[in-house]
Chains A and B, each alone.
Chain A
Amino acid sequence: GESVGLHLPTLSVQEGDNSIINCAYSNSASDYFIWYKQESGKGPQFIIDIRSNMDKRQGQRVTVLLNKTVKHLSLQIAATQPGDSAVYFCAETTNTGNQFYFGTGTSLTVIP
């Protein structure tokens, strides 16, 4: 099936800096793009989503950007904290929910 991939498998940032995690997708028919955070020993946790007809969406300390021209998705985390250390997955799905794919994942490490 279609795949969602990430550019960088690991990312280390200093506490307080901003983090940017990237994702490339290939299914132009996807309707929603979602970011999940998975901490060690836990299941993925929903962070934020963006619909395909939007370019940007902001949450609490997080912003997701969607560039449909180059099929690129990014997650920006402001003032990164140690609790942000986790693996971040992008995912894509359709309106019908008949497809749901996770990307490769980026491991974020926050250095105190």
Chain B
Amino acid sequence: DTEVTQTPKHLVMGMTNKKSLKCEQHMGHRAMYWYKQKAKKPPELMFVYSYEKLSINESVPSRFSPECPNSSLLNLHLHALQPEDSALYLCASSPVQSSYEQYFGPGTRLTVT
């Protein structure tokens, strides 16, 4: 299984809602990533988990809260988001953090109203 899955595919939420994005991989990878991608822009790294521990937080606002319950799962908890947070949220994994080849999921298209 060389696939990274993400749920949901689409999400519409209000600014007062709490929601979560989920990511799963069964490749035995020990590094997992969250990226944010705006339309016609490159992905921007948000968080990196290495061996289930937060390794990198690229100064992301606290309304985004990542969680890595186990080596296969990565969540992104969302609370009190702003309309400008609307974007495609991509999850990726790699064998270890120093691996240059990352495997991306299809993303969750988030719209904040």
Binding site for B on A (CB under 8 A): 32, 34, 41-46, 49, 89, 93, 95-98, 100-105
Write out the residue numbers on chain A whose beta carbons fall within 8 Å of the beta carbon of B99: 97
Between A and B, 28 residue pairs with Cβ closer than 8 Å are A41-B106, A42-B106, A42-B107, A43-B92, A43-B104, A43-B105, A44-B43, A44-B90, A44-B102, A44-B104, A45-B104, A46-B102, A46-B103, A49-B100, A49-B101, A89-B42, A96-B97, A97-B31, A97-B48, A97-B96, A97-B97, A97-B98, A97-B99, A100-B45, A100-B48, A102-B42, A102-B44, A105-B41
B side interface size, CB within 8 A: 26
Interface residues of B in 82-97 (CB under 8 A from A): 90, 92, 94, 96-97
Distance in angstroms between the alpha carbons of A44 and B101 in the assembled complex: 11
